Every structure is written in C-alpha cells, then in structure tokens.
Structure 1
Amino acid sequence: MTPLQSPLARKLGAFVALSQEEISALELLHGRRKVFPAGRDMVHQGQTNQSAYILASGWVCSYKILSDGTRQIVDFQIPGDFLGLRSVLFRTADHNVEPVTRVEASEVLANDLLEMFSRTPRLATAVLWAASRDEAMVVEHLVGIGRRDAKERTAHFLLELGARLKLVGLGSTSAYDCPLSQNLLADVLGLTAVHVNRVLRELREDSLVTFQHGQVRIHDLEGLMLLADFDKTYLDHDGPLLK
C-alpha cells in the first residue's frame, strides 16, 4: 500500500490537500512496521518512554485499568489512527492499547513526530485536527453514556464507526466489516452483553441495522440517524479545509 493510499493519508487528506512533500513525510513515519497478535498489549498503562504507533491494519481497543482491577474500554481504533500518541507527549502512558485482531502498525518515536512537524507544519495542523476529532468522539461517548438510552447509544456508536471507516476507505454508509464481539461492545457502551444482544435484536426487528457474522449492514440510514439523534458534523466536512 502506497502512502497516498494508506489509511492515515486518507484520514489526514480529508483535512489537508496533501502535497508530494507531505506524502513523503508520511512515508518516513511508516518505516518501522511491526506485527502484533490479538490480545497482547502494545501500550501499557504507566509505562514510560513509550512509542506511539500508526495503525495500518486491524483493530485495537484503548482501555483503562482501575485500582480494583476492573477494565473500562474507552474506544476502539481503526486503520489510520494514532495509538498511544498521548503516551509520547505526556512521557507516561495513561492507558493500555490491546489488539482486538492481528494488527500491523508503524512505530513512531517522539523525535519522528517533532521532526515531521518542523518540516511540514500543515501536517502538524492535520494531526491536531485528527486529535481534535478523537476528542469530539470522546465527548459524544460521554454524552451517550450519560444521556442516551441503550438503543440510542448503540445506534449512535454503529453510525460513528461507519463514518470513521468510510473516511479511510474501509466501509460505506450502508455496510462495513466489524470484528467486535458483543462483550466488547458492552464494555465501551457501558451495558451488559445480554443488554447489547437485546438491543441489536430490536434494531434488526425495526429494519434499521443488522450486526451479524462480523458485518454491520445499515438498512435505513435516515431512520437510524433519527433514532440516535446523530449529527455527523463532529466527524465529517465537505473536503479539505487547507488546500
């Protein structure tokens, strides 16, 4: 996969019309490619001098371990996302990153980022945009857990995943592959697996969306957006803002 076709380039290209120099700078970030099996942490909470990664393929989850040993999944990352970026900037990892599937990711050191930011300020702006977009998703998740019921919360999350995957060329508004189990969905949504199962059945019976055999199929996009009160402006815009 060439840098221009990579999920990261697709994602940042939604904000910045990438020049050849900027594409070359992204290529340098992909130099140290590593493979990680599912279930083995890539980033460890509390670890210092931790590298960041750019996810090239596969899915991972970010989670926190509480003092009583319980786990809370904060979000899932898909190809094109940075993993552990705060761990590099804060020098100490404040969360864990665990592959949900086998993943390929490029290791990125702090000096790599700082050098890229110095050489290509527009890319630095694009990375800031991507980080701001991630922050907006965290805000929506907080609103979901605090104010949306289980059905609205699940619908909103499935719509958000679809929008994220479409941006990096891995899905559409009508269907996308999703390797998440109902237990993982329950963890991120603040529900039980039994409750998630019931909600997914209701959404299917309402002819809104089907999530079976690792694939999400949206049958009524407008109806699902109406149910979730989904406003995609926090994820989407009409073409690059920086030409």
Structure 2
Amino acid sequence: MVRKLEILTPMKEEDLSVLEQLEASTRKVPAGTELAVQGEPFGAVVVLRSGWAMRFKTLADGRRQITNFAIPGDVIGLYANMLVVADQSATTLTDVEIAEFPQEMMTDLFRDHPRLAAAFAWTAAREEAVLAEKVVCLGRRSAHERLSHLLLEMLRRLQMVQLTQGDRYVFPVTQELIADTLGLSAVHVNRTLSRLRAEGMIEVDGPVIHVKRVSELTDAADFDDLYLYSQRMPEGMRSRLAS
C-alpha cells in the first residue's frame, strides 16, 4: 500500500506508522475466497498485499460483469464505513495475502490524518476514472481495442507498484474472465488474442503477457494512462495539507 500511495505523495514517518497499523493484521487466503458480497454488509476493510482479486456485479440470472481487477496495494471496502451494504462482490483469483482492519479506523484516519485521507481519496477517484474508461470501452471500442486497452492498463498499473519485468507481467486471468470483463464471448477473446499475437503486438507464455510493441499497441487502442492518476499530488494541495 505504501508503494502505491507514494505515487501521489512522499510518505512521512507518521504516515508510514499509520499505514503499518492498518496492515498489522495479515493472513493468507486461497483462491476463490469471497472478500465482499454484493448486497451484504461489509466486514473489515481489506488491503491486498499479494496476489490478485476481482470485483464484479452479478445479475439475477447469474450473468456477471467484472468491473475491475485488484492487485497488490489495492483496497477493497475503502468506503465500507459509508455504505450499508456492498454494491459489488470481490473474490480472490489467486492465493493472496491480505491485511484487514475495522471500518472505524478509516473514519479515524479521515479525522486525524488528512494527508493520508487525501491519498485514499485519490485511490477512490482513480477507481471512478477506471470505471468511466471501462464504460467507454464497452460502449464504443472494438474487441481489438478493448483487449489491447485492458492489457496496457494492467501493464501500467503493475509498473506503478513495481510488479513487472520490463514490459512483461503475470496476468493470472482466464479467457472466460477476460470475456466477462470486456463484454465479449470467450471465443471472441480467443480470436482477438490470436490476432494480437499474429500482429506481433504481444507474446503469451502461460500466464505471462509480454507487450512487445507498446507504442503501436497504445496507438491501436487509443490508450492514454492519464485516467490512472500516476502524477504527484498538486503542489497547492500538498502545501495546504502541510499547513
């Protein structure tokens, strides 16, 4: 979580101490573990320390839309103290290590640690921007553009928390899950992956994705990582919080 929040602003000793308290209680859980259930009350706030999870909504007939993938540093239930029930579900995709803390600690953080509160608000703003970008993908982009955009987004997000090797990263997601993310059939995803490989844009080795021609794929997907909010906190905001 420190690695992620330091993208926004350097952490002071007091900030690091608070984050250490939030991540003090950790445990390992297997793949397929529910971290939040749509329509049910939130439990503790969860910080993903290792592994992957997914957030999704399910329709009455069982159809599923994956809204986002959670990677190390992401928080599930960030605003659990403000919501009566979870608006979407979250389930681990791999074996993970999580840290948990009571919802009330988030309320205390907003009251007592405004710099950290601003950093967490930034993560929420980024989640909103990611969802807005997904609406554009589902509504206006072709299958080729959707898949290219997703692969670039995950590359950029993982680079921000130092979990890539150059332009390679582990993507532990099946084609069926990609289909539920992009609003496509699994067959269509398979064909589009094959096309990207044939074009020399990517290389797939099991769960490892190598984006071989980042610049060309970026142009093809009309990808602009501005929505991932990878810039530092504006100086005006930093100075006001420090005063």
Cα drift, residue 39 of structure 1: 1.2
**Residue of structure 2 equivalent to 1:72:** 65
Structure 1 CA distance, aligned partners of 2:42 and 2:132? Answer: 28
Query: How far apart are the structure 2 equivalents of 1:173 and 1:146?
Result: 31
**Is 1:199 the counterpart of 2:184 in the alignment?**
no
Where 2:210 maps in the other structure, the secondary structure is strand
Give structure 2 stretches of 5+ with no counterpart: none
CA distance in 2, matches of 1:36, 1:54: 13
**1:93–1:229: structure 2 CA closer, same or farther, 3 Å change rule?**
same
Question: After superposition, where does 1:170-181 map in structure 2 within 5 Å?
Answer: 170-171=163-164, 174-181=167-174
Which residue number in structure 2 is paired with residue 10 of structure 1? 3
Which residue type is aligned with residue 21 of structure 1? E
Matched-pair identity in %: 38
The 1:79/1:49 distance shift into structure 2, 3 A limit, reads closer
User: 2:132 aligns to what?
Assistant: 139
Alignment match of 1:94 (pick from 64, 87, 97): 87
- Greater CA drift, 48-57 or 174-183: 48-57
Map 1:117-196 onto structure 2 (within 5 A).
117-171=110-164, 174-196=167-189
Cα gap change, 1:119 to 1:172, in 2 (>3 Å):
farther
Shift of 1:212: 2.9
Counterparts of 1:107 and 1:238, CA distance in 2: 28
State the distance in 1 between where 2:42 and 2:94 align. 25
SS in structure 2 of the partner of residue 85 of structure 1: coil
Question: Which residue of 1 is the match for residue 21 of structure 2?
Answer: 28
Counterpart residue identity of residue 208, structure 1: M
Decide which moves more: 169-178 or 19-28.
Answer: 169-178
User: What is aligned with 1:3?
Assistant: none
Checking the alignment, whether the CA contact within 8 Å between 1:165 and 1:172 is kept in structure 2 is no
CA–CA distance in 2 between the matches of 1:188 and 1:237?
A: 23
- Count of residues in Structure 1 that have an aligned counterpart in Structure 2: 236
Write the letter of the residue equivalent to 1:65: T
TM-score of the superposition, structure 2-length normalised? Answer: 0.92
1:2-26 Cα deviation digits (max 9, x unpaired): xxxxxx1111111111101101110
If the length of structure 1 is used for normalisation, what is the TM-score? 0.92
CA distance in 2, matches of 1:126, 1:85: 12
Give the aligned CA root-mean-square deviation in angstroms. 1.5
Q: Where do 5+ consecutive residues of structure 1 fail to align? A: 1-7
How far off its partner does 1:173 sit?
5.4
